Structure 1
Amino acid sequence: MTDYLGELVRTHTCGALRESDVGHDAVLLGWVDRVRDLGSLIFIDVRDRFGTTQVVVREDEALRPVAKRLRPEFVVAVMGPVELRSADTVNSKLDTGTVEIAARKILVLNESDRPPFQITEDVAVSEDLR
């Protein structure tokens, strides 16, 4: 089931958050790129055409059922405070790799079937599969 934005308005693109945003609330709109469920933590990579930001859902959050049903290419709105990642979890491959959003609200705006291949710019896929 999909949700509606209500009062949520995008505050940043997925490639815009930096350390200067730590402590402020942010609202991102984008596609789920990847979901990693580590038991006590669920990490969701949300992307748009500007970049990717990691979102974290902690064990005690009421959002866990929503986070567990997310799949690649679902369209979501995510709201929460921007937090600094610990030094051992910094991702130097991302412009946003020093920060993450601690999810307070996740809305599924559109669900998607799993695509037959990962949607990235650097993947080579045959014409027959596309």
Structure 2
Amino acid sequence: MLKTHSCGELNKKHVGAEVTLAGWVDRRRDHGGLIFIDLRDREGIVQVVFNPETSKLCHTIASDMHNEYVVRVSGEVTLRPPGTENSKLPTGDVEVIAQNTDILNPSKTPPFYINEDIEV
């Protein structure tokens, strides 16, 4: 199965659920141990956390991900730790802890940022 949910539909009622998502890497952040990606599909964006203690393989794969890669991620929906919620996103109360991941299609660096908030 390619995906069970859309990125933008996840919220507090999904906490504890196992989900499979597919979309584009909108943004990647490496915080020295944990890797965070904002996964984007046509419905929205959700934060995915790659923790080497949860899955060393997923963490290694995530270290190779870059903007606009097409990826699939499976994992558990959890509440974000207090103080890390993002009120700017409808999904900002939750995150997905990656337990399985695949790079479906890598991407070269785009010649410009693909972002509706940036005027080109």
Verify same fold: TM over 0.5: yes
* Preserved contact between residue 39 and residue 59 of structure 1 (Cα < 8 Å): no
Q: With structure 2 as the length reference, what TM-score do the two structures score?
A: 0.94
State how many pairs are aligned: 118
Unaligned runs of 5+ in 2: none
Counterpart AA for 1:123: I
* Preserved contact between residue 44 and residue 55 of structure 1 (Cα < 8 Å): yes
Q: Provide, for residues 13-69 of structure 1, a one-character-per-residue CA deviation record: whole Å limited to 9, x for no partner.
A: 110001010001011110000110001211011001110000001132211110100
* Preserved contact between residue 14 and residue 52 of structure 1 (Cα < 8 Å): yes
46, 49, 56: which is aligned to 1:56? 49
Counterpart AA for 1:98: D
Unaligned runs of 5+ in 1: 1-7, 126-130
Q: With structure 1 as the length reference, what TM-score do the two structures score?
A: 0.87
Report the counterpart of residue 82 of structure 1 in structure 2. Answer: 77
Q: Does 1:119 align with 2:114?
A: yes
Shift of 1:122: 2.3
* Preserved contact between residue 53 and residue 96 of structure 1 (Cα < 8 Å): yes
Moved over 4 A (4+): none
Choose 1 or 2 for highest CA Rg.
1
Q: CA RMSD in A?
A: 0.9
